[in-house]
Amino acid sequence: MQLIDSHCHFDFDAFAPDRDLVWRRCKEAGVTQLIIPGVSIEQWPDLAALVQRESAWHAAIGVHPWWVSRLDVAPAELEQTICTEAAGRHFVAVGECGLDAATDAPMDLQLAVFRAQVLAACRLNLPLIVHVHKAHNETLRLLKELQPPRGGVIHAFSGSEQMAGDYWSLGFYLGIGGTITYERAAKTRRAVAAAPLESLLLESDAPDMPLAGRQGERNSPAYMPEVAETLAQLRGQSVEEIARQTRKNTQQLFAL
């Protein structure tokens, strides 16, 4: 079984002490590639340098909603900043960007910063990695308006079957992670069981989003096979089929 982790913050300090060891564990577990999202302008150069070390690691460029309050570029300039930074470097996506109603930055500022990043994705012809928390209507409205040509992924998807369908019809895959390992996530488990397998990507969101039974621990991309197993059980499909198709979906979206 071979899996791609479509969302892993592998550059974060949580992995500084043992990054090489974790990567070795990943390969032993069949996790063969990682997509590492951008979160802030200050982080981009180090992230670009990190992925130089290993051809199976791929970087995205973006400003995460949790970092928006510390952004020192005007939203109107961010589209150009991203396009300038992306020239001559290889990024597989724009993101992690989006809207989070539970963070401190005002929603109108978040919307302006998100819009700039969707416009950058349109201009660079790259897919988007989207973070949405309690702001699905605003996100859907913006994506419908701007129609980014390469679509993207709604990372750490949690929501209803209807919402999953709304995103998929706009060309957005659903990133499936540790959430589905919790029995209490009944609505999301039903939605991912019913969605077309062609619309799903697997992700860890490590070091965050620990799996059920590992609460309080650092999450690791090496645990991805457990997410694949859970998805296989929920859908009544073999884990090999889940691995094969989600891998293909990830390769397609990010042109790996």
Q: Residue with CB nearest Zn ion?
A: 96
The least CB distance from residue 131 to Zn ion, in Å, is 6
Residue with Cβ nearer Zn ion (102 or 186): 102
Q: Which amino acid is at 99?
A: L
The three state secondary structure string of 78-116 is HHHHHHHHHCCCCCCEEEEEEEECCCCCCHHHHHHHHHH
Residue with Cβ nearer Zn ion (75 or 207): 207
Interface with Zn ion (CB under 5 A), residue total: 1
The least CB distance from residue 64 to Zn ion, in Å, is 7
Q: In which order are the strands placed within the sheet that holds 200-202?
A: 3-5, 31-36, 57-61, 93-100, 128-133, 152-154, 172-176, 200-202
Report yes or no: 218 and 204 within 8 Å, Cβ to Cβ: no
The least CB distance from residue 256 to Zn ion, in Å, is 19
Short-list 206, 251, 254, CA closest to 3: 251
The least CB distance from residue 153 to Zn ion, in Å, is 11
The least CB distance from residue 7 to Zn ion, in Å, is 6
Residue with Cβ nearer Zn ion (218 or 235): 218
CB burial of residue 59 (10 Å; 0-12, 13-18, 19+): buried
The least CB distance from residue 129 to Zn ion, in Å, is 8
Residue with Cβ nearer Zn ion (151 or 175): 175
Residue with Cβ nearer Zn ion (5 or 166): 5
Residue with Cβ nearer Zn ion (16 or 186): 16
Interface map 83-122 toward Zn ion (x if CB under 5 A): -------------x--------------------------
Interface map 41-80 toward Zn ion (x if CB under 5 A): ----------------------------------------
Site residues (vs Zn ion, CB under 5 A): 96
